[in-house]
């Protein structure tokens, strides 16, 4: 049984995801998107997003930066979390600007303020996941405890 998600249901879904045991499934563009709480480390958990029951390393390519391969489902960029990381640390940027000055730094290091953007299948909080999933058009809830009630 799948249902389109209402505003009230989003509140229930977010509360359920904030709990200790999470097993929720959605249907999106012909793929089953399931969310489960998994251990990230000894004392930390996160919400892991599976597409059709899998997270495959073969879906990610490291050639010319981080991107998805042709085998990857087309919805990954929409359902996985976007992370960014600066190419250079703040300490390095400040030291380079101190050595060269701001004008020469722009000539010597034109990519000094660049960032790397990549997608990961884990979310740190339920609110972050729900905020991203609310934007998806055509997302249907297929499995959750709030559906059974």
95 and 137 inside one domain: no
Residue of 101 and 61 predicted with greater confidence: 101
65 and 129 inside one domain: yes
Output the pLDDT for position 147: 67
Structural domain span for residue 43 = 3-80+121-148
108 and 130 inside one domain: no
Q: What is the pLDDT of residues 115-147, one digit of tens each?
A: 988 888 999 999 999 999 999 988 888 887 776
139 and 66 inside one domain: yes
Output the pLDDT for position 3: 62
45 and 76 inside one domain: yes
What 3-state DSSP class applies to 51? strand
87 pLDDT band, cuts 50/70/90, is very high
100 and 53 inside one domain: no
15 and 73 inside one domain: yes
8 and 50 inside one domain: yes
98 and 27 inside one domain: no
Output the pLDDT for position 84: 92
pLDDT beyond 60 at 1: no
Q: Across all residues in the chain, what is the average pLDDT?
A: 88
73 and 104 inside one domain: no
49 and 73 inside one domain: yes
16 and 36 inside one domain: yes
57 pLDDT band, cuts 50/70/90, is confident
With a CB cutoff of 8 Å and minimum separation 6, the contacts of 47 are 17, 22, 35, 36, 37, 38, 122, 123, 124, 125, 126, 129
Q: Rounded to 10 degrees, what is the CA torsion of 67, 68, 69, 75?
A: -160
Our count of domains for the chain comes to 2
Cα separation, 29 vs 113, in Å, equals 36
């Amino acid at each position: 049984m799948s249902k389109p998600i209402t505003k009230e249901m989003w509140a229930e879904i977010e509360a359920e995801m904030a709990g200790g045991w999470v097993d929720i499934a959605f249907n999106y563009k012909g793929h089953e998107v399931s969310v489960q709480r998994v251990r990230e480390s000894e004392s930390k958990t996160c919400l892991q997003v599976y597409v059709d029951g899998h997270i495959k390393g073969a879906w990610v390519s490291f050639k010319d930066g981080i991107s998805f391969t042709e085998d990857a489902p087309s919805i990954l960029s929409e359902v996985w979390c976007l992370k960014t990381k600066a190419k250079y640390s703040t300490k390095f940027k400040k030291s380079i600007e101190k050595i060269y000055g701001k004008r020469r730094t722009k000539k010597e290091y034109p990519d000094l303020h660049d960032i790397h953007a990549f997608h990961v299948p884990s979310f740190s909080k339920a609110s972050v996941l729900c905020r991203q999933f609310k934007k998806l058009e055509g997302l249907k809830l297929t499995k959750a405890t709030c559906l059974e009630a």
